[in-house]
Amino acid sequence: MSSGAGPQAAPAPAPAPAPADAAPALPPDRFRWITDPLDHWAAAAPERTAAADPLAVRSYAGLQAEVEALAALFRAERVGAGDRVLILLENCLAGAAAILAAGRLRAWAVPLNARLSAREVDAIRAHCRPRVSLYTAGVSPEAAAHAARHGAGTRPALEPLGAVLAVGGEAAPEPAAEGPAMQVAALIYTTGTTAAPKGVMLTHDNLMFIAGRSSQQRGVTAADRVYDVLPMSHVFGLSSVLLGSLYQGARLDLVPRFEPKAVARALAEDGVTVFQGVPQMYARLIAGVGRGATLPAPKLRYISAGGAPLEPDLKARVEALWSLPLHNGYGLTETSPTVSTTEPGRPAVDESTGPPLPDVEVRIAGPAGEALPAEAVGEIWVRGRLVMKGYYRDPAQTAAAVTPEGWFRTGDLGRLTAGGELYVVGRLKELIIRSGFNVYPPEVEAVVASHPQVALAAVLGRKVPGNEEVVAFVQPPPGGAIDLAALRAFVAPRLAPYKRPSDYVVLAELPASATGKLLKHKLRDLL
């Protein structure tokens, strides 16, 4: 992403229309609790397919019955309002039903990616102190391994879903709240830019606010079929994809893990209309088909990227692949997550993340918290119903992140145009000051990654006596190699001298989370 004006980009492809048999989208404030959409569609269209995974297919009435059975099981294990329900999962019906069942009881769902290490899982488990833990062993060998370590066992209600359950110790419930604005629905653990996880408390109102507005923004209707490979353990996959699709009565294809060949087949054969991913997923799809090749997707009408910066070269290549605009957005776990997104009616031609969602306030703040004028670069502050309740068991960090007036300090640097478009230019803590000049890593990353031999790039600052250097970590395409001399020659005319990397480090694969978010804190160890 760049903070300055670049060359005029080619016009974005026109957005595809909604399916011909689409009914109007439901309004954004139709539902209050995360189980409300399921109950609505189970009554209005009980036989319509709600979700499918590699093990089974469920109608809306069938998914509702599954949720009720799980809620009864949890209740039998003394789960009530304010208790934590740990869910070690990869995307599947069991994981979705467990999240909704916890919500039904006003318990807190704690979805965790099953591919976390034993050390990471056990640290989070110790922090959140769950009443019960559910493991989606049927679709995930990693979940099965965690289940075995924790002594999980089968239950009749879980056998059709391929899940197992472990009962925790004497976990004290948190106080229950009367309304959805204060009652926590999900506790999402995030690593942020450090290795230390934090538990983000998101309320029913947080999640329904985003599910309603993001689904309406995408034009999702009951006629859509959504390919759901973004992990439900991540807030993007939870609120925008899972709950946003259920909000409008769409069908979800729950996919445990991203496999380019499986995605290609589903797009070509299954009638998928909506695909949301992170940039690294699109990069792998592009690498799989090669430049200039096609990837049939006859029903696809909407694609978007989030969770990590979207580089202009990758955006252009994806748009050429399907003749669709690749929508971009910006969000954080603490904002449930979507702050801004490009609009189907006016797709961006560059790295804009679009205007803020309706009813979301964004301020570009100066050092004292003052609002800066249009085009000025400052810290992005966010306020509205999307902002988290706080960090679990950490009032000091909560107070540091959220002002008394309700503004969430994101730690990201950005600018707002006069027309209200938000551009994210980097992390406040990752700003590189070289020879007195500000260097924003995403701007350098976008240029480096536009070289045909570079699949991904990550830029960090390295302290040297009296200064900082720019270091670029680069990943070649599968089976490819990078000519560093040619890369330097390519970058030189495209960046001012102070922005050019002093050093390039070639890695076979850059470290990334399960959602494709680059883990820059792991690269710092290599500086």
- pLDDT tens string, the chain, 527 residues long: the values are 333 333 334 556 766 555 555 566 788 899 999 999 999 999 999 999 999 999 999 999 999 999 999 999 999 999 999 999 999 999 999 999 999 999 999 999 999 999 888 888 998 999 999 999 999 999 999 999 999 999 999 999 999 999 999 998 778 999 999 999 999 999 999 854 444 678 999 999 999 999 999 999 999 999 999 999 999 999 999 999 999 999 999 999 999 999 999 999 999 999 999 999 988 789 888 887 766 667 999 999 999 998 777 888 889 989 999 999 999 999 999 999 999 999 998 889 898 999 999 999 999 999 999 999 999 999 999 999 999 999 999 999 999 999 999 999 999 999 999 999 999 988 888 889 887 788 889 889 999 999 999 999 999 999 888 788 999 999 999 889 999 999 999 999 998 888 999 999 999 999 987 666 788 888 988 98
Task: For residue 300, tell me if it sits in a domain.
Answer: no
- φ, ψ for residue 514 (rounded to 5)? -60, -25
Task: For residue 381, tell me if it sits in a domain.
Answer: no
pTM for this one?
Answer: 0.85
How far apart are alpha carbons 126 and 500 in whole angstroms? 45
Task: For residue 296, tell me if it sits in a domain.
Answer: no
The SS3 of residue 262 is helix
CATH code: domain of residue 97: 3.40.50.980
For the sheet containing 361-365, what is the strand order?
Answer: 361-365, 378-383, 408-416, 422-427
Task: For residue 399, tell me if it sits in a domain.
Answer: no
Element (H, E) at 503: strand 503-506
Domain boundary among 164, 184, 204: 204
How many folded domains does the chain comprise?
A: 2
Domain boundary among 141, 171, 204: 204
Task: For residue 21, tell me if it sits in a domain.
Answer: no
Task: For residue 117, tell me if it sits in a domain.
Answer: yes
Strand pairing of 198-203 and 164-167?
unpaired
Task: For residue 454, tell me if it sits in a domain.
Answer: yes
Structure tokens at 431: 């700003």
Question: What are the angstrom distances between the C-alpha of 450 and each of 310, 347, 456, 474?
Answer: 11, 21, 9, 11
For the sheet containing 132-135, what is the strand order?
Answer: 164-167, 132-135, 84-89, 108-113, 184-190, 198-203, 390-391
Domain boundary among 204, 234, 265: 204
Task: For residue 506, tell me if it sits in a domain.
Answer: yes
CB atoms closer than 10 angstroms to residue 383: 17
Give the pLDDT confidence score for residue 127 in this predicted structure: 94
CATH code: domain of residue 481: 3.30.300.30
User: What is the domain extent for residue 485?
Assistant: 431-526
Please name which of 197, 232, 188 lies closest in space to residue 90, comparing C-alpha atoms: 232
* C-beta separation of 67 from 109 below 8 A: no
Half-sphere exposure of 136 (CA within 13 A, CB side): 31
